[in-house]
Structure 1
């Protein structure tokens, strides 16, 4: 059998966990328990409803939630009205947390594999084990590796990180103390590293932006589906209602994407761009802003004589322009931008020249304005250069750190830990081998933050070595990584530890399962994802006691740490548990109480959130100011701006990036451009994988809940509203494209690349470009629960593993496919 393959395997699976009767925890979800079981459970309580302040985990937004529990059963999840992100509201995913908690297919306790053979059709033959046995098994393997001086052969890979009580202390300290360079390799190279590197190259901040949408008068969005799949989705919908309704003047919006989605449909202008050419569009917009004199002179600077010398096709005399807060503008113009006209961009992007000019004039003449981008723009081999071109538009119109512009997120005022990890290091704590993903290595991606998608390829080749033991936390790369099936081959050769509370493709290859709590059972801190800049930290508090024999991942790792035969065991014994971590974090609030009065662990737990407004810095017409407690009245020196805001060597926004110029030899080798040009935002043709003739785009949508919504019936029913996909996602295909292939609406088609093929059901629609097919990433699971299994298409099995050579960002949208009737 395989997990949940049949009714018989379902029964056997529950028996293996020793919790066959525990499925009654799902009584609130219709049809999952009998009426008698539900009545018996309710009879045990007093009927009083308890409201617990917590944090949603259906996406990275981290909205505050009020969890309603009666008689020990959660029956409602609502937005916390006192939380700055949720403001009493939730997106459609928020209430579906009930499915997460009461999922009948949850793993009920630690289990070990008894069948050494691994494969999709192999029965793992899991049997239940105690937590002591499970933790001792892991510690024994890690101790053996350390004793053999092979600590590097242990890897801990994680997906969504939330806070200090899981990543900040347990994972990061394990990385510092155990001795493996592969502890704490995150999934950001599958998510947003292209964005991060583009910002680091230009303004020196290796982070995501915070945005002041409410005060912006123009939004120019590249590949960021603001109303469907861009964080924080819930608050985005709230602010949209204001900026497009009550605000005067109404914020104007231009949205750029490859198909018609909710954001393009609601925008003033929707531009369906050719995949991978967003950077060309941004360059042409910059060209118009300069040739028509629309740049913000108070921030950018001006010509010494006040006469605009930016003329299409003509170079500008060096020294003629006096830069203020930008570096390399004229050099950029002469080397790249003077020839990037709207007519040129129209040929590259297939957009109408008039639309490019109109967009440029609107964006360049409307203050304040924001240009933002996400995976749609940087999910290609030219992703960082696309991102740099787009982000430079913000500098040209003076939006950095301005009201109605964009900035960077401040961190919370956390307290210190009870002990310092440096005091518990030994001779083996410092890694002696490169990382398995070759991040930072000359043979790999030296500028990348991480390269999780390279791990199976490198392991299988033994380059630089083979892994022995791999632990997974909140990531399922067998399903979600490019060329996903390569992970299956790797896992056949390694000892796999999975920590998911749900069955998954990864758990089918696991040798040991150490199931985590669900988010409604956790005590966990979570600083905000970039929001409005001011510091904000939430606390996730258990709404119910754990339903099953599970353990919060942070505590699991701490318990393993206590069992390592090294000084690091003393560190984890002093840390003790994650509640102790959180209590020490909260001590920082004593000196800096939140605006809502939070000044302790107890008040943090009561309110669910700590925050302190306003954001500390503001740029006003080219001058920078710091908040003095009453107003933005403290003028900042150039040195202070460099240290706190524009963190580049020049202390300015570097249109000519010194970060890239320092690595010119590497960039030149992979992109083929002259070394003197590597630092500029520029047009680079994207490289495509797959060998087909149609671009293959696999976006997330509004009901994508961190990979869990495929097993949520309500989410499945609302999965693809624009194209009509419900019980399965539909592949959007333009009528002209379908007609040329003899394909009709509703046909099943074969979608192929050089890696293999999948099938999909076609929705013939003008919602997409003729050269592009769109099949949302969500379905195609073969081991994710009863509702997910056997539904839709496993898209990442045919997407090649190609990455941006600068950021290491996986190029999910770079594949080209062949489509024919099945």
Structure 2
């Protein structure tokens, strides 16, 4: 399936580094510069300007600077003012240039004229004006108000900035709907669950790799996909000079290629390995006593198979270690884990000793994959518990919290909702969060999270109701969610779907109205934050070129346009909210148009960072202009050990026996007039009794009979994937071989030669992969870097829309296969996360 047609650029011509990811010179020839020359535009080195922005290509959210000349974006680099990553970068940033100037971008609002919907059916979109588009949306909203059904308006958020709450949450609230659905449960909610129910932190972590001595990574590929790829790419070589690295992954990743040890674990069995490591560390006496504490007489009583009397142990900054041992760990020997995980017992013992010897300057990473499986919540807790056991929490060389930043919030709109709106806000949310089977325990609150993928099922079953108007923003759930086929069927049922997007995507194909979006990095205001290198930063995006086509500010501008039209029809509360709450914090001026609203909202949310009168910590600015010019604010350096015995858990300590989990589960059970055991049963977990309150082993659920589907599927991220949006770029297609085992202009599934021989499959053969959910066609790549019995494939290809390069035949035939068409739409239900990993059985056949 090699795709050879179209423009082919040499690696030298690409604005990408080699293995070291070094930046090429600004003044090297690039396709954009060559296009400018062909158009007669004169390029003079040094005559342009670097402008600060943020890359939204992944959740690293790196601060960037873009070189602008003659109204064109020519080059991108890391922002020199960032203390997180400095001028370091990863390859993905450059793909944004081709996204910006993609000839397939949506340039004007478009209306569907063919009422029939389906893959391969031409929607027959026709261009319309913004006035017509806004009136269509206002018609739907006013009709809902007339019927007292404002709750049937649903917003769906994909990639975003912190301004998106205006469009998705607050503006939706003033209209009278509780249905502001984010993509978070497709991202990392199970990850946050693991740290919240051990150390009280519902958030991400940063890793102090400069001073670490040992990195143990479960499924994380920090050189390709994690939160701060730019920083890790720049520092990884230095880290290897003073630390050892072990990568636990069924696939030999880019990071595994740079590691000391690769452990090809059986998919879904990471918890078994993690618990056996904890067992062995305790048996060897390798826990970090200054954090954990010790036996009163100094005698180690952790002996395999034997219970320990808690009275003999004095804990310091942790809670429940002995209870964890008695309830779960005492039987979980390396031999027990070896049978499940495929990692030899001797190797587990050796790894446990290395971790203990390096403690507390160690760090145990866990990826979205290992915990975003059907029973993965306790895997997240078990692997994070290793960090606690080794004293790595808030420690030099260890695992650090994302420090809080003095960033403001979008002003509340609840008081602007009238009586009709207040009635709508009382309705159950469309994703069914908080039901017995969907606790969605964000920060321990029943129903506090989101169950993104459940919306499709809710629509199909009309439970709790059928939406009338769905507005999607930079989301493509038909492509990015497990079992995306159900979204295609669901969207057919919704009477009116609007989609804000840069390119017509698979979601757009089912829309009635398409609204062109500006590109986040170059054409609009936005705010993001990230952490790394012991700092947290906030960076902005700002309009730096004339917008292509007729796009408007999306997160702020579209609410403004809708509010204007609603006010003309007598419904003035939305506009009253915008002009009252979003005044310019420097002048007090009310916004008079969409662009001013976006600017004022950006200034309002960042005011505590740039206003010298409100200075709290970190970088000190003279005012808004200096902050805008630099584009990034940095916090003060991280304060180590400050949270020891000051954590936001029920005991204020690191919890191996989670009183925080116990409290949350009991409250959820009480809400549904039942007990915790019934909650466990409803959410698919096997634990009963007190085992539910400790990190424990849950056997992975296997999807597909082993006889019919003998192999296990491993979904992973490409080094070049900008969250599935980069496939319409020549630079992306030509450089896919930066991933081990991949090849350019192809969509490959990597098979171990042992399996390939049994299946009579040769390298380059076209193959079909089938699961209980669906079937895809792609190309076989024989690669010894995948565990026998598994097939590994990067997410990103398989578009049948999104552009002429991304698809084989736009609107009809995909280029390769979409991984999510193989994954069943199931969940880690305690958090609401969708399951992308575990034991997904597949059958592989030569076509």
Q: What's the TM-score, normalizing by structure 2?
A: 0.86
Partner of residue 25, structure 1: none
Q: Are 1:820 and 2:823 matched, yes or no?
A: no
Contact residue 538 and residue 610 of structure 1 kept, 8 A:
yes
What per-residue deviation string (whole Å, max 9, x for no partner) do you get for residues 312-361 of structure 1? 00000132211112111111111110000111111110111111111111
**Which residue does the alignment assign to 1:493?**
493
Give 2:407's aligned residue.
414
Deviates more, 1:216-225 or 1:117-126: 117-126
User: Do structure 1's residue 60 and structure 2's residue 82 form an aligned pair?
Assistant: no
When the two chains are superposed, the root-mean-square deviation of aligned CA atoms in Å is 2.4
Aligned length: 765
Secondary structure at the aligned position of 1:306 is classed as: coil
SS of alignment partner, residue 355 of structure 2: helix
Deviations, residues 663-697 of structure 1 (Å, cap 9, x unaligned): 12312443232222111111110112244111111
Distance (Å, rounded) in 2 between the aligned partners of 1:594 and 1:233: 26
Question: What SS is found at the alignment partner of 2:103?
Answer: coil
The answer to whether 1:392 aligns with 2:385 is yes
Residue 457 of structure 2 aligns to a residue whose secondary structure is helix
CA–CA distance in structure 2, aligned partners of residues 789 and 512 of structure 1: 22
Given that residues 54 and 67 in structure 1 are in contact (C-alpha distance below 8 angstroms), is that contact kept between their aligned partners in structure 2? yes
Answer yes or no: is 1:704 the counterpart of 2:698.
no
Match of 2:640 among 611, 615, 618: 618
Determine the structure 2 residue equivalent to 1:478. 478
The runs of at least 4 consecutive aligned structure 1 residues that moved more than 6 Å come to 31-37
Post-superposition shift, 1:32?
A: 12
Bigger mean CA deviation after superposition, 734-743 or 425-434: 425-434
Does 1:205 pair with 2:205?
no
Decide whether the 8 Å contact of 1:158 with 1:186 is kept in 2: yes
Aligned 1:613-652 pairs, distance under 5 A? 613-615=636-638, 617-619=639-641, 624=642, 641=646, 646-652=647-653
Matched residue SS, 1:537: strand
Provide the residue aligned with 1:433 in structure 2. 427
Q: Which of residues 761, 773, 781 in structure 1 aligns to 2:779?
A: 761
Residue 532 of structure 1 deviates from its aligned partner by 4.5
Supply the distance in 2 between the matched residues of 1:149 and 1:125 (Cα, whole angstroms).
Answer: 33
CA contact (8 A) 1:219 1:252 kept: yes
Residues 178 and 429, structure 1, Cα contact 8 Å, conserved in 2: no
- Is the aligned partner of 1:684 residue 2:698? yes
Structure 2 residue corresponding to 1:675, chosen from 689, 704, 711? 689
1:33 Cα deviation from its structure 2 partner:
9.9
- For the Cα contact (< 8 Å) 2:84–2:536, is it kept in 1? no
CA displacement, residues 564-610 of structure 1 (integer Å, 9 cap, x when unaligned)? 42533310233341111112234313222775543422111110111
Task: Find the aligned partners of 2:480 and 2:417 in 1 and give their Cα distance.
Answer: 35
Closer, same or farther: CA 492–729 of 1 in aligned 2, 3 Å: same
CA contact 1:369–1:405 (8 Å) conserved in 2: yes
In the other structure, the counterpart of 2:228 is 232
Report the equivalent of 1:598.
621
Match of 1:552, SS state, is coil
Structure 1 counterpart of 2:86: 87
- Identify which range, 763-772 or 532-541, moves more after superposition: 532-541
Matched, 1:182 2:199: no
CA distance in 2, matches of 1:658, 1:562: 50
- C-alpha change, 1:678 and 1:34, in structure 2 (3 Å) is closer
How far did residue 545 of structure 1 move? 1.4
Per-residue CA deviation, residues 616-671 of structure 1 (Å, 9 max, x unaligned), is x321xxxx47xxxxxxxxxx8x5xx1xxxx11111111111223323123124432
Q: C-alpha deviations, 1:70-123, integer Å up to 9, x for none?
A: 221222222222222341122111222210110010101111112211112222
CA contact (8 A) 1:690 1:799 kept: no
* Deviation string, structure 1 residues 472-500 (Cα, Å, up to 9, x no partner): 11210111111111111111121111111
- Equivalent residues of 1:61, 1:233 under 8 A apart: yes
C-alpha separation between the residues in 2 aligned to 1:472 and 1:757? 27
Q: How does 1:238-277 map to 2 (within 5 A)?
A: 238-245=234-241, 250-277=242-269
Distance across 1 between alignment mates of 2:96 and 2:798: 22
- Is the counterpart of residue 455 in structure 1 residue 455 in structure 2? yes
Distance 1:678 1:420 in 2: 37
Look up the SS of the partner of 1:244 in the other structure: helix
Contact 2:723 2:796 in 1 (8 A): no
Query: Could you tell me how far apart the structure 1 residues matched to 2:540 and 2:195 are?
Result: 29
1:555-574 alignment runs, 5 A limit = 555-564=557-566, 565=571, 567-574=573-580
| 1:292 Cα deviation after fit | 0.7
Q: State yes or no: 1:717 paired with 2:734.
A: yes
Alpha carbons 2:111, 2:128 under 8 Å: kept: yes
**CA offset digits 1:514-565 (Å, max 9, x no partner):** 1110123334332323435544211112221112100121121233245442
Post-superposition CA distance 1:187-222 (Å, at most 9, x none): 121121110111111111111112222121111111
Question: Contact conserved, 1:281 with 1:349, CA < 8 A, in 2?
Answer: yes
The residue number in structure 2 matching 1:748 is 766
> CA distance change for structure 1 residues 794 and 446 in 2, over 3 Å: closer, same or farther?
closer
Aligned partner of 2:827 among 788, 803, 809: 803
1:331 paired to 2:323: yes
**Distance (Å, rounded) in 2 between the aligned partners of 1:422 and 1:671:** 37
Corresponding residue for 1:469?
469
Distance 1:756 1:229, change over 3 A: same
Matched, 1:527 2:528: yes
Shift of 1:31: 9.7
Give the C-alpha shift of residue 255 in structure 1.
Answer: 1.0
- The alignment's TM-score, normalised by the length of structure 1, stands at 0.89
In the aligned structure 2, how far is the partner of 1:230 from the partner of 1:446? 23
Residue equivalent to 1:343: 335
Specify the alignment match of 2:546 in structure 1: 545
SS of 1:519's equivalent? coil
Q: Partners in 2 of 1:89 and 1:804 — Cα distance?
A: 35
Work out the CA distance in 1 between the residues paired with 2:45 and 2:441: 59
- Gaps spanning 5+ residues in structure 2: where? 7-28, 443-448, 583-590, 592-596, 666-675, 809-814
| Shift, 1:42, TM fit | 4.8
Distance (Å, rounded) in 2 between the aligned partners of 1:754 and 1:306: 54
Secondary structure in structure 2 of the residue aligned to 1:51: strand
Q: How far, CA to CA, are the matches of 2:408 and 2:35 in structure 1?
A: 48
Distance of aligned partners of 1:422 and 1:798 in 2 relative to their CA distance in 1, 3 Å threshold = closer
Q: Does the Cα contact within 8 Å between 1:53 and 1:64 map onto a contact in 2? A: yes
Aligned with 1:471: secondary structure? strand
* C-alpha deviation, 1:429, in angstroms: 3.0
